[in-house]
Amino acid sequence: MSYLLAHPARVGALALAHAALVTGALAAACAIALPLGVLAARNARGSVVLLGALGAIYTIPSLALLALLVAACGLGSLPIFVALVAYAQFVLVRNIAAGIRSIDPAERDAAVAMGMTPRDVLMRVEFPLAMPVIVGGVRIAAVAMIALATLGGYVGAGGLGSLIFTGLALHHTDEIVAGSIASATLAVLVDVTLRGVERALRYGVSR
Amino acid sequence: MSAARVVLEGVRVRYAGADRDALGPIDLDVAAGEFIALVGPSGCGKTTLLRTVNRLQPIDAGRITIDGTNSEELDPVTLRRSIGYAIQATGLFSHMSVARNVGIVPELLRWDRARIDARIDAMLELVRLDPVRYRDRRPRELSGGEAQRVGVARALAGEPRLLLMDEPFGALDAIVRRELQHELRDIIARVGTTTIFVTHDVNEAVRLADRIVVLHDGRIEQCGEPLELADRPATAFVRALFASDDAIAERRAARPVHP
């Protein structure tokens, strides 16, 4: 605890870097997962194969995956960025597909019958209706990514993990605790915020 | 509002893998402004037939012309925006207000905002829902009857030439159902659009339709005015269908008596 109190600016800066890494990876992960999720929602057989493959990635131990990625793309933030994006796919794609599939068929039918183009149906009906479930997936992915991103400290990506790994190397328990508390706090903040967004969408006031 | 003439010639539908046609051949000429009811038991093809008209259901043979234009030659999206559509489950968009639901086709047609707003109010008044009270409600805040009213308002909002309705009152209790049947007749008479209405309830068909098309196993069993079908059923199937029909008596009573 004393490290955290003695160096709030340094911990704050690391937390900021940590958040930036996760935000970037989350954005990239969503950009990849959205089309994959739509595809999985439309095609039942394809969805089994795709989710199976993404599930397999999800089961690779994170240290092993990171080691492979360091061998492939060197040290720094790139390997952890790629690992975060890869791990998030399973949860994101699964929730996007589930969200779209859960829509009342009558609403989709009506949308097509009203003369919506496939794009209109997706943007005006399917995404808005699936959004609470999608945001639920984003929340779970984000929380997992914040924890996982601490491994970045091991490969020179910075962030709160560098506190933890420095502490481990130097037997400075204080730094380990500081890094852990900061990372957990970040995760809780994100969780609470996205829960709020989820609820607002579910019982929303949007017109 | 203009009304469309719809002509179906030799229309057939066969589902993938089936060894016989699910529908057809169907020949049917619906006059502009006419109210047609498609009647028959579940699985007789009435919903399939309805859905061929706005191309939700592709056809395997024959052709459908709307005001003389082969519907296959039209862009399906453009075609559907000119055809109103209402279904039993309402299909109201649950994330949108009543107003946005009603205004969706005008919005797709890119009307200007003021015209859309005026249209929403006019349509809500047409189905006897006070715009002030109902505009901002969500579909889940509506009763079954109110939701169906909104469904009808939405179907008519884009000034369609043709209205397709698939058991719109099927899920309502008898009292609300009668009330809405009565009002629908009024509304359609006022807007003058051609209407094709699917129901399994012969009483409903008799109350509403100018002509009834009885479907059985994907084919037209008989087609004619309600009393004509009741008085001169062409087959035992039609006779049985009309046997327990109390609306026939109402309609007979309503017919002007000639000296």
Chain A positions in Cβ-Cβ contact with residue B153 (cut-off 8 Å): none
Give, in order, the Cα–Cα distances in Å from B228 to each of A52, A94, B16, B99, B256: 61, 57, 37, 42, 16
Over range B25-49, report the average pLDDT.
95
pLDDT band at B170, cuts 50/70/90?
A: confident
pLDDT tens string B110-150: 999 999 999 999 999 999 999 999 999 999 999 999 999 99
Query: To the nearest whole number, what is the mean pLDDT of chain A?
Result: 92
Measured between CB atoms, which of A104, A110, A114 is closest to B108?
Answer: A114
pLDDT band at B249, cuts 50/70/90?
A: confident
Instruction: Please name the residue of chain B whose CA is at the shortest distance from the CA of residue A127.
Output: B95
CATH of the domain at A159: 1.10.3720.10
Contact A115 B56 (CB under 8 A): no
Q: Is the pLDDT of residue B24 over 90?
A: no
Neighbour-count burial of A109, counting CB atoms closer than 10 A to its CB (0-12 exposed, 13-18 middle, 19+ buried): middle
Contact B56 A106 (CB under 8 A): no
Name the percent of chain B lying above pLDDT 70: 97
Chain B positions in Cβ-Cβ contact with residue A124 (cut-off 8 Å): 93
Q: Are strands B83-87 and B69-70 parallel, antiparallel or unpaired?
A: unpaired
pLDDT tens string B222-240: 999 999 998 999 999 999 8
The residues facing B29 across adjacent strands are B7
Q: What is the pLDDT of residue B245?
A: 62
Chain A positions in Cβ-Cβ contact with residue B90 (cut-off 8 Å): 106, 110
Contact B94 A117 (CB under 8 A): no
Cα–Cα distance for residue pair A69/A65, rounded to 1 Å: 6
Cα–Cα distance for residue pair A17/A148, rounded to 1 Å: 14
Residue with the bigger pLDDT between A207 and A194: it is A194
Query: To the nearest whole number, what is the mean pLDDT of chain B?
Result: 92
Give φ, ψ of A75 to 5 degrees: -80, 175
Chain A positions in Cβ-Cβ contact with residue B82 (cut-off 8 Å): 115
Q: What is the pLDDT of residue B56?
A: 95
Contact B97 A204 (CB under 8 A): no
A149 contacts A22 by C-beta, under 8 angstroms: yes
Q: Is the pLDDT of residue A207 over 50?
A: no
* Host domain of residue A187: 2-206
User: Nearest Cα to B23, choosing from B54, B55, B56, B61?
Assistant: B61
Neighbour-count burial of B31, counting CB atoms closer than 10 A to its CB (0-12 exposed, 13-18 middle, 19+ buried): middle
Q: What is the pLDDT of residue A206?
A: 47
pLDDT band at A204, cuts 50/70/90?
A: low
Chain B positions in Cβ-Cβ contact with residue A113 (cut-off 8 Å): 54, 56, 80, 83, 85, 87, 91, 164
Chain B positions in Cβ-Cβ contact with residue A117 (cut-off 8 Å): 77
Cα–Cα distance for residue pair B73/B46, rounded to 1 Å: 24
Q: Is the pLDDT of residue B167 over 50?
A: yes
Residue with the bigger pLDDT between B214 and B245: it is B214
Contact B89 A104 (CB under 8 A): yes
Contact A110 B78 (CB under 8 A): no
pLDDT band at B250, cuts 50/70/90?
A: confident
Is the four-CA dihedral A113, A115, A118, A123 of positive or negative sign? negative
Q: What is the pLDDT of residue A108?
A: 94
Q: Is the pLDDT of residue A11 over 60?
A: yes
Residue B141, token pair as written in the block: 């805040």
Cα–Cα distance for residue pair A168/B30, rounded to 1 Å: 82
Over range B16-26, report the average pLDDT.
88
Q: What is the pLDDT of residue B248?
A: 75
Is the four-CA dihedral A114, A119, A124, A125 of positive or negative sign? positive
Q: What is the pLDDT of residue A205?
A: 46
Give the count of domains, chain A. 1
Residue B108, token pair as written in the block: 């797709």
Rounded to the nearest angstrom, the minimum Cα separation between B40 and chain A is 22
Chain B positions in Cβ-Cβ contact with residue A114 (cut-off 8 Å): 80-81, 85, 104-105, 108, 154
Rounded to the nearest angstrom, the minimum Cα separation between B78 and chain A is 7
Over range A144-148, report the average pLDDT.
95
pLDDT tens string A125-142: 999 999 999 999 999 999
Over range B178-188, report the average pLDDT.
92
Q: Tokens 């997962």 belong to which residue? A: A33
Residue A117, token pair as written in the block: 């183009």
Q: Is the pLDDT of residue B244 over 70?
A: no
Instruction: Please name the residue of chain B whose CA is at the shortest distance from the CA of residue A204.
Output: B95
